[in-house]
Structure 1
Amino acid sequence: MCLSIKYSFMLPLLRKEINSFFSSLTGYVVIIVFLLATGLFLWVFPGQFNIIDNGYASLDALFIIAPWVFLFLVPAVSMRLFADEKKSGTIEFLFTQPLTEMQIVLAKYFAGLVLVLFSLIPSLIYLFSVYQLGSPLGNVDMAAVLGSYIGLFLLAAIYVSIGVFSSSLTENQIVAFLIALLLSFFIYIGFELISGLSFLNPVSGIILNLGINEHYKSISRGVLDIRNVVYFISVIAVFIYLTKMVLESRKLIKKTIIKQKIVQLTFIFVAIILVNYVVSFVFYRVDMTSEGRYTISEQSKNLLKNLDDELYVKIYLDGDDLPIGFKRMKRSLADLLDEFKVHVGSEINYHFINPSESPDKNIRFSLYKQLFEKGLVPIESNETTEEGKTMQKMVFPGLIVVYKGKEMGVNLLKNNPRYKPDGEENINNSVQSMEYELTNAIRKLTKGEKPEIAFLEGHGELSEYQVLDITNTLSEYYEVKRGVIGGTYGILDNFKAVIIAGPSLKFSENDKFVIDQYLMKGGKILWLIDGANINMDSLKYSPRTIAMPSDLKLEDQLFRYGVRINPGLLQDAQCAKIGMARRGADGQSKINLYPWTYYPVVLSDNTNEINKYLDVIRLEFPSSLDTVSSSPDVRKTILLHSSAKAKFDYAPVEIDLMQVQNKMDEHLFNQADVPVAVLLEGEFESNFKNRFLDPNITKAYEVISKSKATRMIVISSSSVIRNEISAKGESYPLGFDINTRKTFKGNKQLITNSINYLCDDEGLMSIRLREIKLRLLDKSKITSDKIFWQTTNTLIPILFVILFGLGAGYIRKRKYTRN
């Protein structure tokens, strides 16, 4: 009860400060200037902070510019709290009240905080507007906005504590304003600038963490970290205590009292430092975004923990004229790398570079060439201005990861054929896959001894040259070997995965048994099996040939595992083109391109770690496959299928090149979504379970009848892994189409993802499933009502303050008139 009576004396002082502010025209002017500046930057002035120009249903820009606007607003609000009392002499009267110095400071502090919060209330009109403009309506991450407002509140709380302290130092309000402005600026960004000095590198991390910005960056995104919260509370406590000491200085006459206060201050500082040090080892965070946007996976955390040297990332995505979508990609990448740093600290550093910064054309082109040689692929981004002009910009949406002297280029932009390369959907897909792309690069650079995989030989499989390109790619992850089974039991046991690519000869029972028992022991297999044999050489001399069913003696084995490859050919109306020589009107022979339904072009459904974000895949003479009943412990997932207009013919079937000249009869293409690739996972039953076997096959080995949990992938076309070979004997890139001179990148992505998924004991591939909802503004509403929304968000917050002021003045006038 005594405590409540004691602190009840604070309330009149708190009300006095608030009433004094709202009875002054200066207070309203300060808030109106703040709201006007914020509204103009967010809704009117063109630039990176303009919500309408950016096109995203987000208030991120508000929480980026607010700290800088607050640098002026908060000192202006708080400058008079003590300075005015000192100048008018009422400070002495204040000290005669039954209040301690701490109670006086807290009353003033909370009054300043209430005033700053009042200035934020009109900004809710921005949230309402973004909510209304969202596509669809209400497409805003409200939880993230709430988290960001909490971060802004904590930032304002620090600024107010600095303002109260500055006001206690002088009786001149202008001087108090300047002191608060400079102190706030220094604590917000000054430590960050100092930490960049080269001679302070050994302690740069400690200095950086002293500044507000390092802690505000995370919390302003809606991520509440207990370490950041404790930091904000600590800084507030320091300045409130310093203000208390300034007020007590009038009584500090005896040296013993001065020493006592110095000891107290030292104790407070040591206690705060100790608390922050202890909390730095407590990792507790709440990601308030609806998709957990700023929470990295456990797989990434485990990988990052193994870093034992600095990881440096050079990102070639910078510049004021960067297209809007790529600005979002840049911010998302910076956020991701900051999250990486949270887990490993100073072991990760990154730097944004503008490859087009130099005015010298030769220097720019030289850098472009270097980046291209390191694997970074540029794109020409087109952006339409309000005047209707199209601006072209060369963009390198990629980065280079450097670790222990090794470098690796990473392209961040996904090329989904359904979307424009620089479109919002494609960039959003790229943002979703950033974590995987980065962790994948880190895994390559940090991997010690590479696991082994093997291409099987001895059954007419594709030659070493026919899979040379994918072998080189897989060599970045694995030791890739080739060899013949030879019926040798256990010969495959040391391989993480085996690839059976395009066999054309029968498998012996011995080899089938070796493969079967390898699977039973937990081995992984990628099957690329053709359902029919086609002699393409015969088509060079005759327009017709016959496709015969493949007879590999694998049907029973694959059937037992849960899949059947149908003997025949799949045709698809969605197909690549083939070149045929035709004589022109001038008598000269030239190559014409015709749709060739035996070369389906496949688009993925983005449903799995393997097929998500795949580019277009080109197949040649694929078959179809069916999943069949097998062990209930096996789960089957279709990875690829045909378009909605396909047909399947069982072999033998005639192939006639002349059909390209005839119009396609779409009525015959009446099969939809015919499977061509399937993932099987679980515990498989052995093909040799409960069978009478030749002792020469099993020898002295016991048949394992059921496998450990394992995986296999079956694709009904070996063409997806085969690269073409030129007349000079040089291999083309995998997916290169000789007819159109175009490379279908999806082929290599599919095989790489398949092997990585099969061998993924750490679960890194699961990161590819990450989903971040695309939150855009409705372009039609913006186009038709742009002036309305600009006017609304610029004037209504100001009108709110003016009406509030008139209402408060009217109430005050009536009150005192009545009295």
Structure 2
Amino acid sequence: MVEKSKELKEKEQKILSNKTQSIYALALLIGFCIVINIIFSFVNFKIDLTEEKRFTLTPSTVQMLNGLKDNIYVEVLLEGQFPAGFKRLQESTKDLLDQFRSESPYVQYRFFDPLALVTVAEKNNRIKDLAEDGIKPTNLRVMEENESTEKIIYPVAVVKFGSKSIPVNLLENSIAGFSDEEVLNQSINLLEYKIADAINKILRVQKPTIAITKGHGESKPIETQDLINTLSPFYNLKWISLDSMYTVPDDIKLIIMPNPSVKFDEKAKFVLDQFVMKGGDVMFLINRLKIDMDSLRNVRAEYVPIENDVNLEDMFFKYGVRIQPNLILDLECSKIPLVVGKLGTGAQTELFKWYYAPLLSSNSINPIVKNIDRVNAYWTSTVDTIKTKTDIKKTVLLSSSQYSRVQFAPVRINFEILRYDPDPSKFNKPNQPVAVLLEGKFPSLYENRVSPDMLKTLTDIKAEYKSSGDEAKILVVSYGKLINNLYNPTQSDYMPMGYNTFEKQLYGNKDFVINAIEYMFDEKGILAARAKEVKLRLLDTVKIKNERSFWQFINVLLPISLLGLGALFFNILRKRKFAS
């Protein structure tokens, strides 16, 4: 009896000891978790396991955020109940701003609905005020209780710093051939770039300066009003005549030459050449042949275009490109209206594909052309690249489709080409380059060619001749009216760049131009965020239909079966433990 009592006490002590050890282990585990949580509350640590690193900011964005010294406020107007697509855009915006704030505590944000809890009159006034600030709404059709209603929403974020503010459109425009889901995914891809770019611009102490050339038949300001209005808040714009200066002012970083049609003399070319040698950037927008739709409509039978000789071919050749005297025809093109008959007292028109208006695209990964729609151009020519004295990086940004061909000048052009169906076998010159970006240290056109008089003039104005250049960028596009917009001179009204009034469609001309300009000024590398791509992994609907029962079993019955087997296994272990 005494021995049994002793054994019982030993068992009780052993059980008590095990309980004590379990309590100590549990307390130690809880304490360890608390300590880890406290440590990681002060340490920013995360692991991005996604294939495309969608939750990792680009190094240039991180560097910019780490350099913030004052508060940046971001007001996101996308608040409320939305369909799944807009809800995803809303949540993605919040996730991104959380990443920004984890990098810098100076980034503050809030979501709100600008039209919530207001009367009809207040709502109309608020819509008007937002429109004056450049903030435009989107009409969203929502299903509520089996009824379809329209709701005005603002997929916009407003970045504020002090008294300055920049609205950022979070939703991309529809792109031909893209589904709504793909457009939404593209909008999410560009969130980091758009908001980071707005923060970078709003922090600029001084606006950079862009010069637009004049005096050689270039596009008039009213013809480029959309570009002027878009750039004015962020850049100083100047119109300069290269003929009237000996050197380009130091504050000018970029020169745009839009659609010149008059020859440049050697003095103007020398000024431009030395601007490039000093690291200045240039955008050449030039048609090699002189022709437009008005020229073609004003002739009865046919039109023979002449070469647009602006005396820059030797400069292009020296820098590494050549614009061929030809015209590109493409089966992938926009349309124009032509009269096909009479309807009562009026003319009956139809839209026809105009092969001289190619829709240009790109296979490049350069951020200028990443995630943009096709560019609509007219009367373009092939831009060839040439080996240069110095190492110049040459990137084809825009080219024709695989169904294109070329016609060399002289060529007769008329509308008779539209009377017959095109022969695809003749469109056998695919991917003709139309826009080429050159980057590097360019050789001077006037190397060993500077006259004593020119050197004396440079000495008098205390300027130095450079035979080799600093790092610079040159964009050559064989479409002179790339930055032009349609306008109504009587009403002082204009359309956006790239808007086709016949097709009622907005192409990617404006995005291409703005991205190219941003690339020229992108010293911090913010534009690299445009190259980020989040893959859209859509479900295979056919596979879902065929394997529906199997995956229902996996998701419903398998977890329950595993729980039952686990309970049975632990019950058997428990019985064996207490039986022993």
Using the alignment, how far apart are the partners of 1:724 and 1:96 within structure 2? 89
- 2:474 maps to a residue whose letter is M
Per the TM alignment, residue 459 of structure 1 is displaced from its structure 2 partner at its CA by 1.8
Per the TM alignment, residue 442 of structure 1 is displaced from its structure 2 partner at its CA by 1.5
In structure 2, the partner of 1:523 is 280
Query: Given the alignment of the two structures, is residue 555 of structure 1 paired with residue 555 of structure 2, yes or no?
Result: no
Per the TM alignment, residue 815 of structure 1 is displaced from its structure 2 partner at its CA by 5.4
Using the alignment, how far apart are the partners of 1:648 and 1:512 within structure 2? 30
1:75-114 pair list within 5 angstroms: 97=17, 105-109=23-27
In structure 1, the partner of 2:532 is 770
1:28-427 pair list within 5 angstroms: 97=17, 105-109=23-27, 233-234=34-35, 280=42, 286-320=47-81, 322-345=82-105, 347-354=106-113, 371=130, 374-376=133-135, 378-379=137-138, 396-415=154-173, 417-420=175-178, 422-423=180-181, 425-427=182-184
Kept in 2: contact 1:735–1:743 (CA 8 A): no
Render the CA deviation track for 1:44-72: whole Å, top value 9, x for unaligned.
xxxxxxxxxxxxxxxxxxxxxxxxxxxxx
In structure 1, the partner of 2:474 is 712
Using the alignment, how far apart are the partners of 1:362 and 1:662 within structure 2? 57
Per the TM alignment, residue 598 of structure 1 is displaced from its structure 2 partner at its CA by 1.7
1:376-775 pair list within 5 angstroms: 376=135, 378-379=137-138, 396-415=154-173, 417-420=175-178, 422-423=180-181, 425-486=182-243, 488-534=245-291, 536-543=293-300, 544-605=302-363, 607-691=365-449, 693-699=450-456, 701=458, 703-728=465-490, 730-735=492-497, 737=499, 739-740=501-502, 742=504, 744-775=506-537
Using the alignment, how far apart are the partners of 1:783 and 1:356 within structure 2? 43
- 2:77 maps to a residue whose letter is Y
Using the alignment, how far apart are the partners of 2:398 and 2:192 within structure 1? 24
> In structure 1, which of residues 766, 782, 803 is the aligned counterpart of residue 565 of structure 2?
803
- 2:373 maps to a residue whose letter is D
5+ long unaligned stretches in structure 1: 1-91, 111-156, 162-229, 237-271
Kept in 2: contact 1:618–1:735 (CA 8 A): no
Using the alignment, how far apart are the partners of 1:699 and 1:734 within structure 2? 47
- 1:351 maps to a residue whose letter is R
Kept in 2: contact 1:548–1:653 (CA 8 A): no
Q: TM-score, normalised by structure 1?
A: 0.63
Using the alignment, how far apart are the partners of 2:549 and 2:158 within structure 1? 43
Using the alignment, how far apart are the partners of 2:308 and 2:14 within structure 1? 99
Per the TM alignment, residue 285 of structure 1 is displaced from its structure 2 partner at its CA by 5.2
Kept in 2: contact 1:549–1:568 (CA 8 A): no
Kept in 1: contact 2:498–2:508 (CA 8 A): no
Using the alignment, how far apart are the partners of 1:391 and 1:778 within structure 2? 31
Kept in 2: contact 1:487–1:510 (CA 8 A): no
Render the CA deviation track for 1:49-100: whole Å, top value 9, x for unaligned.
xxxxxxxxxxxxxxxxxxxxxxxxxxxxxxxxxxxxxxxxxxx96897499x
Alignment partner of 1:557: what SS? helix
Q: 1:106 to 1:709 in 2, by over 3 A?
A: farther
Q: 1:730 to 1:695 in 2, by over 3 A?
A: farther
Q: TM-score, normalised by structure 2?
A: 0.86
Which one has a larger percent strand, Structure 1 or Structure 2?
2
- 1:547 maps to a residue whose letter is P
Kept in 2: contact 1:416–1:614 (CA 8 A): no
Per the TM alignment, residue 588 of structure 1 is displaced from its structure 2 partner at its CA by 2.3
Per the TM alignment, residue 609 of structure 1 is displaced from its structure 2 partner at its CA by 0.9
Kept in 1: contact 2:292–2:379 (CA 8 A): no
In structure 2, the partner of 1:12 is none
Q: 1:304 to 1:628 in 2, by over 3 A?
A: same
Per the TM alignment, residue 338 of structure 1 is displaced from its structure 2 partner at its CA by 0.6
Per the TM alignment, residue 315 of structure 1 is displaced from its structure 2 partner at its CA by 2.1
Per the TM alignment, residue 104 of structure 1 is displaced from its structure 2 partner at its CA by 5.0
Kept in 2: contact 1:580–1:591 (CA 8 A): yes
Q: 1:796 to 1:559 in 2, by over 3 A?
A: same
Kept in 1: contact 2:364–2:396 (CA 8 A): no
Kept in 1: contact 2:390–2:443 (CA 8 A): no
Which one has a larger percent helix, Structure 1 or Structure 2?
1
5+ long unaligned stretches in structure 2: 1-11, 459-463
Per the TM alignment, residue 549 of structure 1 is displaced from its structure 2 partner at its CA by 1.0
Using the alignment, how far apart are the partners of 2:481 and 2:399 within structure 1? 15
Alignment partner of 1:304: what SS? helix
Using the alignment, how far apart are the partners of 2:505 and 2:375 within structure 1? 10
Per the TM alignment, residue 723 of structure 1 is displaced from its structure 2 partner at its CA by 1.6
Alignment partner of 1:467: what SS? helix
Kept in 2: contact 1:493–1:518 (CA 8 A): no
Alignment partner of 1:699: what SS? helix
Identical counterparts, % of pairs: 34
Per the TM alignment, residue 632 of structure 1 is displaced from its structure 2 partner at its CA by 4.8
Per the TM alignment, residue 334 of structure 1 is displaced from its structure 2 partner at its CA by 1.1
Using the alignment, how far apart are the partners of 1:794 and 1:375 within structure 2? 51
Per the TM alignment, residue 234 of structure 1 is displaced from its structure 2 partner at its CA by 2.1
Per the TM alignment, residue 526 of structure 1 is displaced from its structure 2 partner at its CA by 0.6
Render the CA deviation track for 1:220-256: whole Å, top value 9, x for unaligned.
xxxxxxxxxx9x54277xxxxxxxxxxxxxxxxxxxx
Per the TM alignment, residue 666 of structure 1 is displaced from its structure 2 partner at its CA by 3.0
Kept in 1: contact 2:44–2:102 (CA 8 A): no
Using the alignment, how far apart are the partners of 2:438 and 2:412 within structure 1? 32
Using the alignment, how far apart are the partners of 1:591 and 1:430 within structure 2? 37
Kept in 1: contact 2:375–2:498 (CA 8 A): no
Kept in 2: contact 1:577–1:739 (CA 8 A): no
Kept in 2: contact 1:604–1:614 (CA 8 A): no
Alignment partner of 1:794: what SS? helix
- 2:54 maps to a residue whose letter is R
Kept in 1: contact 2:226–2:497 (CA 8 A): no
- 1:482 maps to a residue whose letter is W
Q: 1:373 to 1:795 in 2, by over 3 A?
A: farther
Per the TM alignment, residue 548 of structure 1 is displaced from its structure 2 partner at its CA by 0.6
Alignment partner of 2:524: what SS? coil
Q: Report the aligned-residue RMSD.
A: 3.4
Using the alignment, how far apart are the partners of 1:466 and 1:563 within structure 2? 27
Q: 1:754 to 1:285 in 2, by over 3 A?
A: same
Using the alignment, how far apart are the partners of 2:487 and 2:158 within structure 1? 31
Alignment partner of 1:526: what SS? strand
Using the alignment, how far apart are the partners of 2:364 and 2:448 within structure 1? 40
Using the alignment, how far apart are the partners of 2:125 and 2:73 within structure 1? 22
Kept in 1: contact 2:330–2:401 (CA 8 A): yes
